């Protein structure tokens, strides 16, 4: 018996030695095979994790779909504006695999409207019929088009009360950090955003109305960006072959072409207004019949005097001349649950006396978060502002990451104009940051 065990051990060891000898003699093929197997295993594990996330989200959605509704209630209807071209053409597949099954299982009757070209979402929203909720499936460009089309409608006072859900499918999703907990997994971000729509918790968001001298107004949720850092950020992708050095290279090459990159602008602004308390709308109870009859008789025999028309006070604009590397007019939607005293927009102007090294360093930070400014930047709070560019000035604005030709514009704040679905976890996280 011991001889048999010894023979088996010798045979196994001989085979192991043979395998190692083969790997050593063919090390290139062995290395390539190990890399392929490792990548394949990692890819399969990622697919398995995505499948688990979808299953968990569908189980939660099925619980909503199994809830009983009263006979007089009707199934909730949702209109989905989907941009198939978002995320390099992958948006349609991402929506169908990760978001649509959740909405169907929850018992939501969805109408999916797909856009075919840039700017079509504005026209589609202007023709949209009444719905219980509006869902935007795309990126910053799709969202900006939808809210612009919505607020251009003649009946926008009614449609602006429709809650809006945002499913991040684009390459840029600036509003997502304000509404959802983000991760490195695209599937998790989409499923969690869809589930937050089902839970129904909303938060009011401010809107910027941006109007040129002749153009129709454009509306934005995040802000308007103009200046040297914006121009460089639009060219970073051209240096993709430099890998992690592309951001530094883009800013360095821009300083070689022209320096300094200072822009002059005249900014006129109004003081911010006091923010009314955030109270839920309460419908006053209807008085009893006797009281209503007495009130009508009283008004008939002794009609109330007409109030004189209110004389509106002229707006008091203050003007300031700025020399800056970048101007950013933004809302406070980065933390929509923060309690504020005033309704205001923020005007941030980067200081003009940065050195080349400081310009490159600041550009790296702004590439990750454009709202970051240096300590010496000018900060103003205003209710509205006007930008007057010098004659011959050219360039582009970034309005919610969409390019528009730079021109004199008036920017007004529409406080708490729209309501968006927000996840309860993200709301709690934002509240904890304030404390």
For 286-322, give the DSSP string: PPPHHHHHHHHHHHHHSPPPPPPPPPPPPP--EEEEE
Task: Please give the pLDDT value at position 312.
Answer: 67
Taking alpha carbons only, the member of 205, 69, 219, 68 closest to residue 143 is: 219
The model carries a pTM of: 0.85
Q: What is the dihedral of CA 112, 118, 123, 129, to 10 degrees?
A: 10
Helix pair 186-199, 424-434: axis angle to 10 deg:
90
Taking alpha carbons only, the member of 192, 179, 174, 119 closest to residue 152 is: 119
Which of 8-17, 253-262, 347-356, 374-383 shows the lowest mean pLDDT across its residues? 8-17
In the three-class reduction of DSSP (H, G, I as helix; E, B as strand; rest coil), residue 385 is classed as strand
Taking alpha carbons only, the member of 340, 323, 330, 429 closest to residue 370 is: 330
Task: Please give the pLDDT value at position 282.
Answer: 59
User: Does residue 280 carry a pLDDT above 80?
Assistant: no
> How far is C-alpha 238 from the geometric centre of its chain's CA atoms?
24
Looking at per-residue pLDDT, the higher value among 2 and 73 belongs to 73
| Cα distances (angstroms) measured from residue 386 to each of 267, 343, 348, 375, 397 | 6, 17, 14, 24, 14
For the chain, the average pLDDT equals: 87
Task: Please give the pLDDT value at position 281.
Answer: 58
User: Does residue 1 carry a pLDDT above 70?
Assistant: no
Sign of the C-alpha dihedral computed for residues 122, 205, 332 and 167 taken in this order = negative
| Cα distances (angstroms) measured from residue 305 to each of 9, 308, 310 | 111, 9, 15
> How far is C-alpha 50 from the geometric centre of its chain's CA atoms?
23
CB 151 within 8 A of CB 125: no
pLDDT, tens only, 145-182: 999 999 999 888 888 899 999 999 988 899 999 999 88
Token digits of residue 341: 């005293």
Helix residue ranges, H only, 200-314: 228-233, 246-257, 289-301
Token digits of residue 244: 């992690």
Contacts of 200 (CB under 8 A, 6+ apart): 163, 421
List, edge to edge, every strand of the sheet that includes 223-227: 378-382, 345-349, 326-330, 223-227, 396-399, 402-405
Q: Give the CA count within 13 Å in the CB-facing half-sphere of 94.
A: 27
Token digits of residue 349: 């102007």
CB 87 within 8 A of CB 139: yes
Q: Residue 288: which pLDDT band, with cuts at 50, 70 and 90?
A: confident
């Amino acid at each position: 018996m011991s001889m048999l065990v010894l023979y088996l051990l010798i045979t196994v060891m001989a085979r192991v030695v043979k395998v190692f000898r083969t790997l050593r003699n063919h090390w290139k093929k062995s290395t390539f095979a190990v890399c392929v197997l490792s990548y394949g295993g990692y890819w399969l594990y990622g697919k398995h994790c995505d499948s688990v996330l979808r299953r968990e989200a569908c189980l939660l959605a099925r619980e909503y779909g199994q809830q009983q509704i009263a006979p007089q209630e009707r199934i909730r209807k949702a209109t989905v504006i989907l941009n198939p071209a978002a995320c390099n053409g992958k948006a349609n597949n991402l929506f169908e695999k990760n978001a649509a099954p959740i909405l169907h299982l929850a018992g939501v009757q969805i109408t999916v409207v797909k856009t075919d070209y840039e700017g079509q979402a504005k026209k589609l929203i202007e023709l949209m019929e009444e719905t219980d909720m509006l869902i935007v499936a795309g990126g910053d460009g799709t969202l900006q088009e939808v809210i612009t089309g919505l607020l251009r409608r003649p009946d926008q006072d009614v449609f602006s009360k429709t809650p809006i859900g945002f499913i991040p499918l684009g390459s840029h999703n600036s509003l997502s950090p304000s509404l959802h907990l983000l991760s490195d997994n695209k599937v998790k971000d989409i499923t969690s955003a869809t589930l937050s729509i089902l839970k129904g918790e909303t938060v009011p968001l401010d809107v910027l109305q941006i109007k040129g001298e002749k153009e129709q107004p454009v509306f934005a949720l995040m802000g308007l960006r103009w200046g040297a850092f914006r121009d460089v950020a639009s060219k970073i992708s051209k240096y993709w072959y430099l890998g992690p050095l592309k951001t530094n290279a883009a800013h360095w090459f821009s300083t070689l072409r022209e320096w300094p990159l200072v822009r002059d602008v005249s900014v006129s602004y109004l003081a911010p207004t006091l923010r009314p308390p955030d109270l839920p709308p309460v419908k006053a109870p209807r008085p009893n019949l006797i009281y209503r009859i007495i009130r009508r008789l009283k008004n008939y025999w002794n009609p109330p005097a007409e109030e004189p028309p209110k004389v509106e006070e002229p707006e008091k604009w203050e003007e300031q001349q700025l020399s800056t590397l970048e101007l950013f007019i933004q809302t406070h939607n980065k933390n929509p649950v923060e309690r504020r005293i005033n309704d205001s927009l923020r005007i941030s102007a980067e200081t003009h006396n940065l050195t080349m090294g400081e310009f490159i360093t600041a550009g790296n930070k702004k590439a990750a978060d454009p709202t970051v400014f240096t300590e010496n930047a000018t900060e103003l709070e205003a209710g509205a502002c006007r930008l007057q560019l010098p004659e011959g000035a050219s360039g582009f604005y970034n309005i919610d990451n969409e390019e528009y030709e730079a021109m004199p514009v008036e920017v007004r704040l529409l406080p708490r104009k729209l309501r968006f679905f927000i996840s309860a976890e993200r709301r709690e996280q934002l509240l904890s940051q304030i404390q």
